[in-house]
Amino acid sequence: MTELIFEKVNNCGSIAPETEAVKKERTEIVMGRRVFLVVLDSVGIGALPDAELYGDAGSNTLLAASNSNGFAMPNMEALGLFDIEGVKCLKKDCVAPSGAFGRLKEASKGKDTTIGHWEIAGIISDSPLPTFPDGFPQELLNAFSERTGRSVLCNKPYSGTDVIRDYGKEHMETGALIVYTSADSVFQIAAHEAVVPVEELYRYCEIARELCQGEYGVGRVIARPFEGEWPFVRTSRRHDYSLVPPKTTMLNVLAENGYDVIGVGKINDIFAGSGITEFVRSSGNEEGIEQMIAYGDKEFHGLCFVNLVDFDSKYGHRNDVEGYGKALTYFDAQLPRLLEKLREGDLLIITADHGCDPSTPSTDHSREYVPAIITGPSVKKGACIGTRESFADTGATVLHWLGASGEIAGSSYLDLITGGEKES
């Protein structure tokens, strides 16, 4: 194991003052280090203590998916997934985990993608982003229609597949945009690509993003193009337009200090490009996994931040237990391809941003603990980080491992996983 000689990160994720000599030595040690931070979007592992306040008492996304036919995650099991406190999936054997493991609470108010990812990256949000269960105010829609030159259909919470089935024909006849929301903080615009070319739809989303600020400041404006004949199908050309994070994130810290910050999937969209030095979008889990594995062969110094969205968008929100289980089984089967590419100086962290239990009547996200599975040549086998108080502890750990100094929320758990002090 490479000896960590730089000073310990404090509770804000920053490194204590150091001499120029120590700084030079630290920099030489951490040069070439890589972190692969993989978010399994919505793979929660059990209800948080305050889940009842969000209508999510008893939610357990992983448990629900594990009850699907053919569910198998032997590689994640070997790393320690089923050893995490509160995980109720049956462990098949008593072999000690080969990775480090634990669970994290969400300290922020909310349970959506934006809030979850921002917290992973070091921002704890004191209030949830605004939602519109009764649809958007007319004054907002009037301003949107005036800017786009198109009227609006729907304007209520709706399933993304149901809304194009129910409003798609009228959209085709009139050219009006289908605007809808959900239980999340989102302003979604659906349009058939034969009626509204996708680049034009993106321009409309940019207009909506400009308008959705302040009291209307939803976490994401989302382009939802669809195609074909009724009942229509959504295309892979979805695009998210997020709020710029209100505070410094681990991404900003790394980018400003010369590290590579690579976003895979919708990471660039979630952070509105802030702190990202390179990105690639993906059409879904399969492409995202291939992109992630491809970066295992590339030379970079810093962070490869991956979001795998299908667990949430295709299965959690559609209450598809069988699909969710198959998606987790597929991810697990591909994981060894990345593991074999990890080299000295690499850290792999697998976590999530919230839950989305596909077995409950709700199609909304659920307020759950998320896993932290960590591995790499320097990680102590079987190390347990326990229950952490914030997703932000992962961001602080990333900075600690890479030797980057910056002020973000969270407390590093690096010492627990690399043979340092044990958790008290």
**Which tens digits make up the pLDDT trace of 236-275?**
899 999 999 999 999 999 999 999 999 999 999 999 999 9
Please state the rounded mean pLDDT for residues 79-95: 87
pLDDT at residue number 11: 32
Please state the rounded mean pLDDT for residues 17-25: 48
Please state the rounded mean pLDDT for residues 62-76: 97
Domains present along the chain, CATH in parentheses: 20-126+243-417 (3.40.720.10), 138-241 (3.30.70.1250)
pLDDT band of residue 26 (cuts 50, 70, 90) is very low
CB atoms within 10 A of CB 86: 14
pTM for this entry: 0.88
Please state the rounded mean pLDDT for residues 414-419: 93
pLDDT beyond 60 at 421 = no
pLDDT at residue number 154: 98
Mean pLDDT over each residue of the chain, to the nearest integer: 92
Range among 6-20, 193-207, 408-422 rated most confident = 193-207
pLDDT beyond 80 at 25 = no
pLDDT tens, 189-211?
999 999 999 999 999 999 999 99
pLDDT at residue number 129: 93
Please state the rounded mean pLDDT for residues 367-384: 98
pLDDT beyond 80 at 32 = yes
63-68 CB contacts, 8 Å cutoff, 24+ apart: 63/87, 63/88, 63/89, 64/321, 64/324, 64/357, 64/358, 64/359, 64/360, 65/321, 65/324, 65/325, 65/328, 65/358, 66/325, 67/321, 67/325, 67/359, 68/321, 68/322, 68/324, 68/325, 68/326
pLDDT band of residue 20 (cuts 50, 70, 90) is low
pLDDT beyond 70 at 130 = yes
Please state the rounded mean pLDDT for residues 105-125: 97
Separation CA 350–CA 35 (nearest Å): 11
Least confident segment among 8-22, 47-61, 100-114, 405-419: 8-22
Q: Which of 195, 105, 190, 114 is nearest to 152 (CA)?
A: 190
